[in-house]
Amino acid sequence: MTNFKQDYSSLLFLLSLWLPLESVSDSISLGETSLMHLLDQEQFMKQLFYYLCGFAGGIPFFVLRDYGRETLSLRWRSWMTSYYMERYLKNQNFYKIQSQLIIDNPDQRIVDDLSSFTGTALTLSLTLFNSTVDLISFSNILYGIYPPLFVVLLIYSISGTAISVYIGRGLVNLNFLQEKKEADFRYGLVRVRENAESIAFYGGEESEKHLLLQCFRGAFENLSQLLISSRNLAFFTKGYRYFIQILPAAVVAPMFFSGKIEIGVINQSVSAFNHILEDISLIVYQFQAITAFSAVINRLGQFDDILNSSCSTKSHCDTSKDICVTYKSLKSSSVVESNGLSPPEKGETLLEIENLTLKTPNEGTLIRDLSLTVKDKEHLLIIGPSGSGKTSLLRAIAGLWSSGNGKIIYYEKNGGDPQQPIFSDVNAPTVNTVHDAYERLGNFVSKSSRTFFLPQRPYMVLGTLRQQLLYPTWADNEIPIADSIKSKRVLPFFMKSSNSDKNKQPRFPRTDELIMVLEDVCLGYLLSRFSLDSTHDWSSVLSLGEQQRLAFARLLLAKPKLVLLDESTSALDELNEVHLYKKIGAAGVTYISIGHRQTLYHYHNRILRISTLDSNCKEPNWCIESIRCQSS
């Protein structure tokens, strides 16, 4: 019976649009029999034809509309991802964010938050546009029927919006925290996967389960609060939506009973009223989606502010507040630093440290007033007790540690801007010796790679064995593109920018050169198990000793002028250690090493001995000792 009444009312409303109001009024007085006479078959078929035509044209329109929206969202997300990735990886911002714990989960902000932002922003924008057009169209109808009803509707919707904002004011913060806690839980699972072997060796499954459940408990408790707040808001929004449905009929019905309007006007007023209510109450009905969107905007806003502050940091050095790393050219009369002083002539000097005081982020001093000079082929060994600041010193030399004060100066033999890459476009002769190969390859690398760092646990990239060897000197050029993709149009922000001629780009080492360098670091047997283009999780497939030797292969291919070794042979036996130090020495590489083995003394010229700093003593906690070069 209820369905019949609804269908009957809908039919009356359609008739009120197709036929004059007087005809509909007469048909109501004649009853259902008279009504059926008005529905002739010709008119029915005509309207059915119109409907089918609209149906046929509407389906492609709505499908293409949704497709266009999703495509636009994807392209917008792609551009924003490229934009944020460029800023995130620029000037070592990723390292600063992670080491200083500035914000949480930057990976989630780039992956999930950007996707949610672009998709939700377009959806809400189109919804707002449609509601605006709908509001303008039906406001004219309702205002023409009964102006007081339109005014009541405005007052009702504005009041409902204000109450919704008051009730759901805490949803933004709860959604913000939920994003963080979910990301923390996922990060914990990723850490278990990355450290599966260590956890298995320790038998730490129960401990890991406790930590993961603790992370999940935080997400669970916050989500419970979020559901309670959403429930309270739903109580109001549901009542707000259904309570008002009876208002237009109640207001307009007296006019119908007095004979001032026909029954079709009531249907028109109800329909127009509901449309306007949906349009004006957009915030009420979409409040939960808007609060989640606001949380995403807050997270991206924080991330954007961090990246902006890092990019706007002053580039010149203030040695009284931070450690200053500068570059000087030995042939140029100008100095690449802010004070404008001319550099002294330093024939074979590669690195100079002046009055360096190294501090921890909480202002604890590690090394006080360190000054030393590293010249070409003058290898330095750094020793000292654990926690004395050896690795922090290498980080400062590499420009990753800024807590403290003093100067670190790099000297370049060639004139010009040390930050600009230098290349050679001379055709290389046939390689006959290992040393000739390394000398030739060294002419094709940029100055940014003339200082190399080898940590105790090398970084294994996601890729092939060939890419492991080419990283990082040639990694930016090693971007394979499938043939099926080459023919398609590539978005401009996915393409590499090239400011120099292709002939001046670094030349890729040939396959035979890669095989040769694997043999030189005693990893030639890997080629019997894997090809150069096979892809594996190399950090799991290779042992730590093999990873360290692979890092030395990168070093020999890159041919840097100076290399920093942080216990880079700790997982190797002494014979392999001797072999690798001989190789990099024969390649003309100057190295600064951190190590504890007595055998390392044979391959260094000087020792920098660092002791634990006594806070009550004002004297430097370091000394330099000479080592007589000995043959192993």
DSSP class of 412: E
**Strand pairing of 562-566 and 451-454?**
parallel
CA angle 380, 385, 391 (to 5 degrees): 55
Residues 538-556 have a mean pLDDT of 90
Name the one residue in this structure whose structure tokens are 């002419």. 443
Highest mean pLDDT: which range of 252-256, 471-475, 592-596: 592-596
Percent of the chain with pLDDT over 70: 74
Q: Which pair of tokens denotes residue 386? A: 């654990």
Contact 478, 470 (CB under 8 A): yes
DSSP class of 111: I
The residues pairing with 403 across neighbouring beta strands, listed in sequence order, are 322
Task: Indicate the domain borders of the chain.
Answer: 90-312, 349-414+445-475+508-626
Is a pLDDT exceeding 80 seen at residue 346? Answer: no
- Burial category of 314 from C-beta neighbours within 10 Å (exposed 0-12, middle 13-18, buried 19 and up): exposed
Ramachandran region, residue 340 (left: φ > 0; alpha: ψ -120 to 50; beta: rest):
left
Q: List, as one string, the DSSP characters of 271-309.
A: HHHHHHHHHHTHHHHTHHHHHHHHHHHHHHHHHHHHHHH
| Digit-coded pLDDT (tens) for 355-403 | 898 888 777 888 888 999 988 888 999 998 888 888 888 888 888 888 8
Confidence of residue 337 (pLDDT cuts 50, 70, 90): very low
pLDDT given at position 320? 53
pLDDT given at position 444? 36
How much is the pTM? 0.67
Is a pLDDT exceeding 70 seen at residue 447? Answer: no
pLDDT given at position 483? 44
**Mean pLDDT (the chain, rounded):** 75
Residue type, 576: N
Is a pLDDT exceeding 90 seen at residue 437? Answer: no
Residues 452-478 have a mean pLDDT of 81
Least confident of 140-144, 279-283, 505-509, 530-534: 505-509
pLDDT given at position 68? 86
pLDDT given at position 312? 58
Q: Distances from the Cα of 355 to the Cαs of 167, 380, 397, 620, in angstroms?
A: 60, 18, 13, 10
Q: Does domain 349-414+445-475+508-626 have CATH number 3.40.1160.10?
A: no
Helices (H), 168-246: 171-194, 196-202, 205-243
Least confident of 320-334, 390-404, 408-422, 535-549: 408-422
| CA proximity to 402, closest of 368, 431, 361 | 361
pLDDT given at position 471? 84
Confidence of residue 579 (pLDDT cuts 50, 70, 90): very high
How far is residue 439's CA from residue 436's CA, in Å, rounded to a whole number? 5
Is a pLDDT exceeding 70 seen at residue 419? Answer: no
Higher-pLDDT residue of 515 and 630 is 515
| Digit-coded pLDDT (tens) for 515-525 | 999 999 999 99
Percent of the chain with pLDDT over 90: 9
pLDDT given at position 39? 53
Residues 45-62 have a mean pLDDT of 81
Q: Is the bond preceding 429 in cis, omega lying within 30 degrees of 0?
A: no
pLDDT given at position 331? 57
- For the domain made up of 90-312, give the CATH fold: ABC transporter transmembrane region fold (1.20.1560)
Residues 289-299 have a mean pLDDT of 85
pLDDT given at position 220? 92
Is a pLDDT exceeding 80 seen at residue 259? Answer: no
Residues in Cβ contact with 65 at an 8 Å cutoff, skipping those fewer than 6 apart: none
DSSP class of 207: H
